[in-house]
Amino acid sequence: MLDLHRGRILREVARLGSMTAAARSLNYTQPAVSHHIARLEAEVGTPLVVRHGRGVRLTEAGRVLVEHVEDVLARMDDARERIAAIAGLRAGRVRVAVFPTAVAGLLPDALARLAERAPGVAVTLVDA
């Protein structure tokens, strides 16, 4: 399995165009960044960067990997947001079994308060 942390480092190298700049941005040493890139290249079995002058550029394989790393990171961010919304009762689904007499008397106010506090919560009522 590919190391996502190393993928983030590769993404930063690609964004900044050099191992040194990426190291500075990530608060790493330049040799540490180079080591992570070398390990990632060993994992995928092909070069991911080509050195030129004082910088680097991605190979085609490097571009593909960075694209996928960005997709994975975006999905992880989405998952975190969705889980936080559920944990904070800002989103989700609630199914409530109610007696018909309760629907008329108690539920309208409770549902209105819930809608104000948690507009992302969908409520389904079913007969008890």
pLDDT tens-digit series, residues 2-43:
889 999 999 999 999 999 999 999 999 999 999 999 999 999
pLDDT digits 0-9 by tens, 58-71? 999 999 999 999 99
Q: Cβ–Cβ contacts within 10 Å for residue 110, how many?
A: 12
Rounded mean pLDDT, 113-126: 83
H helices of the chain, where? 4-16, 19-26, 30-44, 60-87, 100-105, 107-117
Q: pLDDT band at residue 49, thresholds of 50, 70 and 90? A: very high
Q: Cβ–Cβ contacts within 10 Å for residue 40, how many?
A: 22
**pLDDT attached to residue 104:** 67
**Amino acid at position 67, single letter:** E
**Residue bearing the bigger pLDDT, 35 or 80:** 35
Domains of the chain are: 4-85 (1.10.10.10), 88-127 (no CATH)
Let me know if 54 is exposed, middle or buried by CB neighbors in 10 A (0-12, 13-18, 19+): exposed
Q: pLDDT band at residue 103, thresholds of 50, 70 and 90? A: low
Show Cβ contacts of residue 50 under 8 Å, excluding neighbours closer than 6 positions: 56, 57, 58, 59
